[in-house]
Amino acid sequence: MQQTIVCKQFSFDAAHQLIGHKGKCANVHGHTYKLEVFAKGPVINRPGDSDDGFVIDFGDLKAIVKEFVVDPMDHSFLAQGDEPIIAELSTTGAKIYHLGVRSTCENMVKHIFEKLWTELPDLIDKIRLWETPTSYAETGVDDWRP
Tens of pLDDT, residues 24-80: 988 989 999 999 999 999 999 999 989 899 999 999 999 999 999 999 999 999 998
**Can you say whether the dihedral through the CA atoms of 131, 72, 113, 7 is positive or negative?**
negative
pLDDT of residue 145: 57
From the CB of residue 114, how many other CB atoms can be counted at a distance below 10 Å? Answer: 14
**Residue 121: Cβ within 10 Å count:** 10
pLDDT digits (tens, 9 = 90+) for 87-140: 888 889 899 999 999 999 999 999 999 999 999 998 999 999 999 999 999 999
CATH code of the domain made up of 4-140:
3.30.479.10
**Residues 106/114, Cβ–Cβ less than 8 Å:** no
- Kindly list the catalytic residues: 25, 75, 131
Read off the pTM.
0.92
Q: How many residues does the chain have?
A: 146
Domain limits, the chain: 4-140
